[in-house]
């Protein structure tokens, strides 16, 4: 299902429904515009956004005067209101960047000075292992930089909320639709997809890892992206008490890389990672035993001798993501590029949007609106509704509220995912999403089903049964994430 197709020409077309593209779509929905959002995958948050740490950065790691620094700090301030409107949980849990030697303390001082130049609030240096252990009893360090405005959330949840709220406010969204060419006409662009072409006065390139490919469609060939793969480990919830804040190492000598860090999550698991490996293929999201061992070793090195070492049994799964690092010849990776191209009026390029892209997204969206307003006066949309119902989790409710829900609908009392306590009613609600995403990943990122200790061993068959019986999907049409990711070829037993 999609919104009714507007007649004639679109005002603005956005390519890419990751966190940045979806934030831009929602921000532009505040104005009287015909907006089209393309995503080549089957759902929001299917690329760079899906596979990151979910950290709301404070802005002390970025070079003063850079767009990364500006939009990270500005975006951080926007999160409380944004997440409140979209009903997305977040928490400013704070961060400790730890140093184990005098040389590493110098790195902390550099970060502290950068943070002050970037006007990052709630920063302070902490010296002495005893003071640090009072904050984090399991961590060993000689000094630490404390950041009070660093936080966490689930990035895919925010991405979905932004996209679906944009849709609710009239943005036309086309999933499973890849842009294959863009032709520049006298007063508009012709955006081609495999099935048809669309006319648009403005085009915004928010394609993440595909940003260079899209830019080349309008003749811009000067940019080069170097894919950087980061692998992560997810620890069982039994490890949730290891840390209460984000734990980062002192900056690496390898410029632009934050090093392996420990990230507590809202759901109780702990992330270890990412690694950093520059690769040739932007689709290579594999995981390796070698990197797993190194991640565990680096994580254990941050703990004091009183803490039992984390072993492989504590790891419930691993994953990896790709960051689009913009190649530079200087001593740091290039800054974000966000501009209307002078030689291609009406084409706004967003190139190299990597970390802190998640944090920067709402501020980037406002900046893109400012770019458009330099060329034309935008009229406010009085019907814009900033609020999104979201996905209220059964497990977060009080016992009384749970009892009332079960009494009203028995599906609330039927547990589908034991690890994450996801009910049948929650799965059905997730499948009732406005874009009609009916994949296992669609359910996963809307409910957390399959994300627990057993990784879908218990709930996977139940989800397939719901897709078959409640949504009339033939088993051969059930996919992991759309496209060719089919789960079944044939039945092993005859159908009855």
d(CA 487, CA 483) in angstroms, rounded, equals: 11
Question: DSSP strand E in 169-314: where?
Answer: 172-174, 181-184, 189-192, 197-205, 225-235, 246-249, 261-264, 270-273, 277-278
* Higher local confidence (pLDDT), 285 or 169: 169
Q: Nearest CA to 456 among 412, 417, 486?
A: 417
Residues forming CATH 3.30.9.10 domain(s) in the chain: 95-148+225-326
Residues forming CATH 3.50.50.60 domain(s) in the chain: 6-90+152-224+327-389
Decide if domain 95-148+225-326 falls under CATH 3.30.9.10. yes
Give the total residue count for the chain: 496
* Higher local confidence (pLDDT), 68 or 254: 68
Q: In the annotation, is 474 catalytic?
A: no
Tens of pLDDT, residues 232-279? 999 999 999 999 999 999 986 554 456 789 999 999 999 999 998 888
Pair 158, 132: CB distance under 8 Å:
no
Tens of pLDDT, residues 18-38? 999 999 999 999 999 999 999
Q: What is the pLDDT of residue 353?
A: 96
> Coil, strand or helix: which one is 490?
coil
Tens of pLDDT, residues 186-235? 999 999 999 999 999 999 999 999 999 999 999 999 999 999 999 999 99
Spot the catalytic one: 57, 188, 261, 412: 57
Q: Model's pTM, two decimal places?
A: 0.94
CA angle 482, 487, 488 (to 5 degrees): 130
Cβ neighbours for 270, distance < 8 A, ≥ 6 positions apart: 234, 235, 239, 240, 242, 243, 262, 263, 264
CATH number of 6-90+152-224+327-389, picked from 3.50.50.60, 2.30.130.10, 1.10.3720.10, 3.40.1160.10:
3.50.50.60
Confidence of residue 440 (pLDDT cuts 50, 70, 90): very high
d(CA 148, CA 135) in angstroms, rounded, equals: 12
Tens of pLDDT, residues 109-149? 999 999 999 999 999 999 999 999 999 999 999 999 999 99
Residues forming CATH 1.10.10 domain(s) in the chain: 394-477
CATH number of 394-477, picked from 3.30.1490, 2.10.25, 2.60.40, 1.10.10:
1.10.10
d(CA 348, CA 205) in angstroms, rounded, equals: 6
Pair 12, 35: CB distance under 8 Å:
yes
Confidence of residue 288 (pLDDT cuts 50, 70, 90): confident
Q: Is the pLDDT of residue 408 over 60?
A: yes
């Amino acid at each position: 299902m999609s919104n009714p197709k507007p007649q004639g020409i679109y005002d603005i077309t956005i390519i890419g429904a990751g966190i940045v593209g979806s934030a831009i779509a929602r921000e532009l929905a505040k104005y009287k515009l015909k907006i089209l959002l393309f995503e080549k995958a089957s759902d929001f948050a299917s690329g760079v956004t899906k596979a990151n740490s979910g950290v709301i950065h404070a802005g002390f790691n970025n070079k003063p005067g850079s767009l990364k620094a500006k939009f990270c700090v500005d975006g951080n301030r926007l999160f409380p209101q944004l997440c409140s409107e979209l009903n997305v949980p977040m928490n400013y849990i704070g961060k400790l960047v730890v140093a184990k030697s005098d040389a590493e303390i110098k790195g902390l001082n550099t970060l502290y000075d950068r943070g002050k130049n970037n006007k990052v609030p709630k920063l302070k240096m902490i010296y002495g292992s005893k003071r640090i252990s009072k904050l984090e009893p399991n961590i060993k360090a000689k000094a630490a930089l404390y950041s009070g405005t660093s936080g966490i959330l689930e990035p895919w949840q925010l991405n979905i909320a932004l996209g679906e709220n944009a849709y609710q406010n009239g943005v036309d969204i086309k999933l499973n639709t890849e842009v294959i060419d863009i032709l520049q006409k006298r007063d508009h662009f012709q955006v081609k997809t495999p099935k048809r072409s669309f006319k648009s006065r403005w085009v915004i390139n928010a394609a993440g890892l595909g940003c260079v490919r899209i830019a080349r469609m309008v003749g811009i060939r000067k940019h080069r992206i170097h894919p950087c793969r980061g692998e992560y480990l997810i620890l069982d919830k039994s490890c949730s008490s290891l840390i209460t804040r984000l734990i980062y190492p002192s900056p690496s000598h390898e410029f632009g890389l934050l090093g392996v860090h420990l990230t507590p999550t809202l759901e109780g698991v702990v992330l270890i990672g990412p690694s950093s490996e520059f690769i040739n293929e932007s689709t290579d999201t594999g995981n390796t035993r070698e990197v797993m061992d190194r991640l565990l070793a680096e994580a254990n090195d941050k703990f004091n001798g009183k803490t039992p070492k984390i072993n492989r049994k504590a790891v419930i799964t691993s994953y990896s993501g790709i960051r689009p690092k913009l190649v530079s010849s200087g001593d740091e990776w290039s800054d974000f590029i966000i501009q209307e191209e002078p030689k291609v009026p009406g084409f706004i390029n967003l190139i190299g949007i990597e970390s802190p892209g998640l944090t920067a997204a709402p501020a980037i969206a406002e900046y893109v609106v400012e770019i458009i307003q330099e060329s034309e006066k935008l009229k406010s949309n009085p019907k814009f509704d900033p609020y999104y119902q979201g996905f209220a989790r059964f497990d977060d409710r009080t016992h009384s509220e749970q009892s009332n829900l079960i009494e009203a609908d028995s599906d609330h009392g039927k547990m589908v995912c034991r690890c994450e306590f996801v009910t049948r009613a929650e799965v059905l609600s997730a499948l009732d999403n406005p874009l009609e995403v009916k994949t296992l990943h669609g359910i996963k990122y809307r409910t957390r089903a399959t994300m627990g200790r057993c990784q879908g061993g218990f709930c996977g068959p139940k989800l397939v049964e719901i897709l078959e019986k409640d949504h009339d999907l033939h088993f051969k049409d059930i996919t992991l994430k759309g496209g060719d990711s089919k789960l079944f070829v044939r039945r092993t037993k005859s159908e009855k």
